[in-house]
Amino acid sequence: MDWGFPENVSTFGADIDAAYGAIFYATALMFVIVQGLLVYCIIRFRRREGRKAVPIHGNTRLEILWTVVPFFGVMFIAYTSASVWLDIKSPDRMPEDAMELSVTAQQFEWSVTYPGADGQLATADDYSTRNELHIPVDRAVRLTLHAQDVIHSFYLPELRVKQDAVPGMEIPVWLQATATGEYTLGCAELCGLGHYRMRGTVNVYSQQEFDTWAAEEAAIASGAPASLPPVAAR
Ligand SMILES: [Cu+2]
């Protein structure tokens, strides 16, 4: 049984996992200390024959202590997560030379639009795939998320990406895969009865395989005969 995250194939995955680990172990340590103290006090100060209870009226030094220590604990968590979050999620820090794709979520499927031969989205030669995301390895990809009906959540666990797609909004996310292979695409927001069906695959190819795949798809989309060499490793 695997208790942790799935395999990481994202350039920023290690930073996320490190922040997660630091927060997990810090809170686990606090949990053990607090519960240990509780059990100790339950046993040490239990009712005994002939021992009288003594009322107490607060302790300023203790109260300052248990306010200041958690304050620094919470600041530690805020700092650890915010620095990673800003690096990954800020639109102005996303790579500028990224490949642009468009993702539309609807009840109950993902549709990914690719720019076609001209490299531009929203032109006549665009083509789309359903419940499949195809990307090249070692290349920054920027996806603009749209939703047609309700809120969905674009979830790529191995690529450490989870971002809501919200009707009326265009939300950018980026990623860069570090290994070829087939990974999971899912919806992480309960979006209706068919929510469980919003599962697909992320296919990470070598650049050469991706170019071949893209040329083939573009040819099919434009209705031209596919006079291309077969893809060896698919
Ligand atoms: Cu959904």
Contacts 24+ apart (CB under 8 A), 78-81: 80/19, 80/22, 80/23, 81/19, 81/23
Q: What is the pLDDT of residues 14-71, one digit of tens each?
A: 999 999 998 899 899 989 999 999 999 999 999 899 888 888 888 999 999 999 998 9
Q: What's the CA-to-centroid distance between 200 and ligand 1, angstroms?
A: 12
Which pLDDT score is estimated for 232? 53
Nearest Cα to 202, choosing from 125, 143, 152?
A: 143
pLDDT exceeds 80 at position 229 = no
Q: What's the CA-to-centroid distance between 74 and ligand 1, angstroms?
A: 32
pLDDT exceeds 80 at position 222 = no
Q: What's the CA-to-centroid distance between 120 and ligand 1, angstroms?
A: 27
pLDDT exceeds 50 at position 234 = no
Q: What's the CA-to-centroid distance between 189 and ligand 1, angstroms?
A: 6
> How far is 2 from 8, CA to CA, in rounded Å?
14
Q: How confident is the model at residue 91 (pLDDT cuts 50, 70, 90)?
A: confident
Q: What's the pTM?
A: 0.81
Which CATH number applies to 96-222: 3.20.130.10, 1.10.390.10, 2.60.40.420, 3.40.50.1820?
2.60.40.420
Which pLDDT score is estimated for 53? 84
Q: What's the CA-to-centroid distance between 82 and ligand 1, angstroms?
A: 27
Q: What's the CA-to-centroid distance between 159 and ligand 1, angstroms?
A: 18
Name the residue ranges covered by the structural domains of the chain: 13-45+56-89, 96-222
Q: What's the CA-to-centroid distance between 35 and ligand 1, angstroms?
A: 39
